[in-house]
Structure 1
């Protein structure tokens, strides 16, 4: 006897949250580090539990916030480079603000060097007044902001040398484990963007555009700083790609 299928039986057993090409290709060709840091097998699918939906809680108590001014960590000691302000909102898949999210930023200095032991072998100088990392908590509208300097480009030490364009790393921890995102922000119109293996690892052009900041009119920002806006969407089909 043939059993008639119900509407529930006809539903797929999985749902792809992103359209094709919206996620970066990993391992990334031309970037050896992604071959050693990328899983070789597909992730194991399992039901979402309460821990993934409701926690962790009170992150701002465990991760102290308030480090929003990277450009002048101490009064009278500004960092070297073009001063910029980056502001935006953290949004969920429905465009609603994510309140109380922890937003971390880290970047190279204006010479393209990180304040980190792993970047100690390069000739680019360190800036004693620039550490290059900060952490803030989003407000009721999901807003965040950082004062910093525009990072410099730097070469990637591979057989076929290529350069990373100016970029800023973001880590966002939302109200649940499912809203965790590590991504990068790129600057619009930079000539190195099309040659960057990380940026171009996102095949879909519209998805790549979500990695680009929007330059603000100087008259809107005021003297002393260049302004950029960058909203980050944590999940859904319009999500900011991880990278």
Structure 2
């Protein structure tokens, strides 16, 4: 009878996340093309915006080693993906539609520079409110977390959004709404993400 093998010790996600996915943030310049937090080009259509926020843990402390990815539709509400077959909407060749950012190791603040997306036609022909999809990973998060960010100046569209309407408690829906701020000529949407505890952000199993 063969000897039973002992279970290998487990370990949560650690700094290798940055070394492998965002090496420049960890002090390594090893990629010819670094995936960054700026999704726009000089000719990108749509309203230019920035997204900023802090990811906090259950005690309310900033998570300073978090890595976030976003993907979104362009200003017409079209994804740059062959699976998006919405009629009458075209791909914007100057818009990447996907970005990656790390939180600042000192402050915990993350930032993306992008455009405000248009409404996407979802299942059964139902329009979805303008939104941005988030994927979050950090030390202590073994499986990436998925959520969405909606815009507080799209109240009517948010109220009819089929995904938001799946969330039974209105107070929980509010955790997905980013707040618009005007800083001089720049529009910034503030979107803080809470991993646990009071006002925990709604995450989706996808």
Q: What range describes the TM-score normalised by the shorter chain of this pair?
A: 0.7 to 0.9
Aligned residues, how many? Answer: 184
**Residues 212 and 230 in structure 1, CA contact (< 8 A), matched pair in contact too:** yes
Cα 1:234–1:196, aligned 2, differ >3 Å: closer, same or farther?
A: same
Alignment root-mean-square deviation, CA: 1.9
Cα 1:197–1:157, aligned 2, differ >3 Å: closer, same or farther?
A: closer
1:181 aligns with 2:140: no
Deviation at 1:89, TM superposition (A): 0.5
**Residues 179 and 234 in structure 1, CA contact (< 8 A), matched pair in contact too:** no
Q: Please state which structure has a larger fraction of its residues in strand.
A: 2
**Residues 179 and 235 in structure 1, CA contact (< 8 A), matched pair in contact too:** no
**Residues 173 and 202 in structure 2, CA contact (< 8 A), matched pair in contact too:** yes
Which residue of structure 2 aligns with residue 151 of structure 1? 117
Which residue of structure 2 aligns with residue 242 of structure 1? 203
TM-score of the superposition, structure 2-length normalised? 0.82
Which residue of structure 2 aligns with residue 12 of structure 1? none
Alignment gaps of 5+ in structure 1: 1-48
**Residues 112 and 151 in structure 1, CA contact (< 8 A), matched pair in contact too:** yes
Which residue of structure 1 aligns with residue 89 of structure 2? 124
Which residue of structure 1 aligns with residue 69 of structure 2? 104
C-alpha distance in 1, partners of 2:86/2:172? 34
1:222 to 177, 180, 184: 184
Structure 1 runs (4+) greater than 3 angstroms displaced? 49-52
Which residue of structure 1 aligns with residue 30 of structure 2? none
1:141 aligns with 2:107: yes
> Which is worse superposed, 188-197 or 172-181?
172-181
1:123 aligns to what SS in structure 2? Answer: coil
**Residues 181 and 234 in structure 1, CA contact (< 8 A), matched pair in contact too:** no
Larger radius of gyration: 1
TM-score of the superposition, structure 1-length normalised? 0.70
Deviation at 1:201, TM superposition (A): 1.1
1:80 aligns with 2:37: no
Cα 1:50–1:168, aligned 2, differ >3 Å: closer, same or farther?
A: farther
C-alpha distance in 2, partners of 1:199/1:229? 19
C-alpha distance in 2, partners of 1:111/1:143? 29
Deviations 1:61-89 (A, max 9, x none): 111265111122xxxx2310011111000
